[in-house]
Structure 1
Amino acid sequence: MNTSFEKYQKRRLRSSYFSVIISIALVLFLVGVLGLILIKTNSISKHFKEQVVMTIFLKNDAKNSDVDILKAELKKADYTKSIKYISKKEAAEKYSKDIGEDFMQFLGENPLKNAIDISLKSDFVTPEKMEAIEKNLLNRSLVYEISYDKPLIDLLTKNIKRLTFWMLLFSAVFTLIAVVLINSSIRLSVYSKRFTIKTMQMVGATKKFIRVPFIWKSIQLGFLGAIVAIIALIALGLYVNNLVPELNLLSDYKWFAILALFIIGLGILISWISTFFATQRFLNLQVDELYY
């Protein structure tokens, strides 16, 4: 009889733990999905920023040695991702191909200038930083003019700031919801053992002695829930990559590792804090209050 009852209690306890793990995993999985979207938004904005090109037009009398020095300095500059030198002859050939006729035949000369195209690193693609780079380069005696799409940079910067703000706000709200939901699951788990807690207290066990096993168990449940959530995230990423390879959701290993650590930390932290306050509440209740 006692053996059957003990087996029943163990099955009930395992079922309770399983439901808590699944609840934590589902909430953390949704947080992880939002994190993946945030990471991808950042990489997409970085990609678009690094498509921006600043073109330096050189004076016709610029010496080759001076041009080589400028190219070497640009390659070493903090803001440079890559550079490309385009001679006036190459530019004329490309322009003639674009318009479908040789414009130099009726002009008699090539009006275009030698140029250097600079692809900037994403951190430097802002109106203020690009304007500072432009002013610095215009001080060079061999530089004739600098050209880039200023309205596009303004629009791109404003839209990225707006998108980042709303994504961060949404992430904060969703994280708060995750905290509340995980807290509810842990509190329900502790609530089911409230009579055990009170019985241990009545036979002389200290609050710390009673609390520690509950906290340790909840940390384990939080960790397991986080691991399940991360595995589900990886599975989702691989599935989406098969459907839409261009998204490449799991390509940024560094940020995905940070996201995984955040999910594990969040699962453990919320479980620990929730269990601490839940056990504290039941330890402070009177016996007759446990029934309400």
Structure 2
Amino acid sequence: MSLKYVIKEGTAGFKRAKLAVTTSIFSLFIAVLLLGILGRVSYNVYTQAMSLKEIQIEVFLFDMDERSVEEVRNQIEGEELVTNVVYISKDSASVIAAKELGAGVTELIELNFLPASFKVEVNTDSGSELVESLASRIQNIRGVDEVEYNRALLKALESNLSIFSLIGSGLGILILLAAVVLVYNTIRLTIYAKKDLIRAMKLVGATNGFIRSPFIVEGIIQGLIAGTLAVLSVFAIFEFLVPIYIPDVGIVAWPFGRWYFLVGAMVGLSVLMGWWGSRLASRKYIAETYISG
């Protein structure tokens, strides 16, 4: 099979069905652009939510000697979810409370009535059920008086993130399907316009794979063009338009801190959709063209 022939015929479809090809590229462009915007915004929403989800458990202790405190600390540090443990003595607790409450309460330092405690930092990927189980285990440690953490905030964040993820995933799938259907229809129209040629090629022994190749190349090229345009648009939107017209939003970071992750995903996805749509259409309608002839 001649590569030159495949590329030539693959690009010829752009001239034969200009309106259909333009519509397909524009649809792919819009789909990938929306997915790119959704991906970048979603990443920033997720990172902001995770920064709020700094899980810290306060473990208040009964009065005990230093050896007992160290034993409690070792048991807490032995938990898999725990990332850091900070001890706050009774004296330190009074000083912290006095600073937080402001002037006029310095007598709290002298009263020294606040209990010693541990501030326990937990892996932020931990779910509310795991954190609740951890808090329960810590509560059962000998010498622990009370365990406190913000259960309500943690559960609310998890619930909102789940809803956001479901909505985002649903929108993404709908956009992908719509784009693939449009590529599929474009290739189908191109095949229909060349149906007489396809019949003639089959009569002289051309295989389905040979006939399909130019149409698949056409779909890939459509995807490449649409993906490139979508990437340029995402750059323009977040680097120029958003800072000018919505300055309060601030800098919308690239996923994982690097531009090429999202750019590669957008172009790759666009090419994949173009290939998939053209492959489905060519497999179905080239066979039907021969049967109907």
Pairwise same-fold verdict (TM > 0.5) = yes
CA distance in 2, matches of 1:186, 1:73: 65
Q: Does residue 248 in structure 1 map to residue 252 in structure 2?
A: yes
Detail structure 1 runs of 4+ shifted over 6 Å in the superposition: 13-18
Q: Does residue 285 in structure 1 map to residue 286 in structure 2?
A: no
Matches within 5 A, 1:1-292: 12=15, 19=22, 20-50=24-54, 52-63=55-66, 65-68=67-70, 70-71=72-73, 74=76, 77-97=79-99, 98-102=101-105, 104=107, 109-126=111-128, 128-239=129-240, 242=243, 243=247, 246-253=250-257, 257=261, 259-260=262-263, 262-279=265-282, 280-285=284-289
How far residue 250 of structure 1 moved from its aligned partner, in angstroms, is: 0.6
One-letter amino acid matched to 1:89: D
Secondary structure of the 2:125 match is: helix
How far residue 112 of structure 1 moved from its aligned partner, in angstroms, is: 0.3
How far residue 130 of structure 1 moved from its aligned partner, in angstroms, is: 1.7
Secondary structure of the 1:123 match is: coil
- Tell me the percent identity: 22
Of the structure 1 ranges 246-255 and 40-49, higher mean CA displacement relative to structure 2 is found in 246-255
Secondary structure of the 2:216 match is: helix
How far residue 61 of structure 1 moved from its aligned partner, in angstroms, is: 1.4
1:231-267 deviations in Å (ceiling 9; x for gaps): 433443434674456453315247972x555544433
How far residue 13 of structure 1 moved from its aligned partner, in angstroms, is: 6.2
Partner of 2:8: none
CA distance in 1, matches of 2:181, 2:20: 18
Change in Cα spacing, 1:176 to 1:213, as seen in structure 2 (3 Å) is closer
Q: Is the 1:201–1:283 contact (alpha carbons within 8 Å) kept by the matching residues of 2?
A: no
Structure 2's unaligned 5+ residue stretches are 1-11
Secondary structure of the 2:141 match is: coil
Q: Is the 1:49–1:122 contact (alpha carbons within 8 Å) kept by the matching residues of 2?
A: yes
Q: Is the 2:223–2:270 contact (alpha carbons within 8 Å) kept by the matching residues of 1?
A: yes
Of the structure 1 ranges 269-278 and 241-250, higher mean CA displacement relative to structure 2 is found in 241-250
Secondary structure of the 2:120 match is: strand
Secondary structure of the 1:252 match is: helix
Of the structure 1 ranges 263-272 and 240-249, higher mean CA displacement relative to structure 2 is found in 240-249
Secondary structure of the 1:285 match is: helix
One-letter amino acid matched to 1:274: G
Q: Is the 1:218–1:275 contact (alpha carbons within 8 Å) kept by the matching residues of 2?
A: yes
1:160-191 deviations in Å (ceiling 9; x for gaps): 33333333223332332232233334444544
Partner of 2:3: none
One-letter amino acid matched to 1:30: L
TM-score under structure 2 length normalisation = 0.74
Structure 1's unaligned 5+ residue stretches are 1-8
Of the structure 1 ranges 222-231 and 234-243, higher mean CA displacement relative to structure 2 is found in 234-243
Secondary structure of the 1:31 match is: helix
One-letter amino acid matched to 1:33: I
CA distance in 1, matches of 2:56, 2:259: 27
Q: Is the 1:54–1:148 contact (alpha carbons within 8 Å) kept by the matching residues of 2?
A: yes
Q: Is the 1:198–1:283 contact (alpha carbons within 8 Å) kept by the matching residues of 2?
A: no
CA distance in 2, matches of 1:251, 1:273: 26
CA distance in 1, matches of 2:271, 2:285: 20
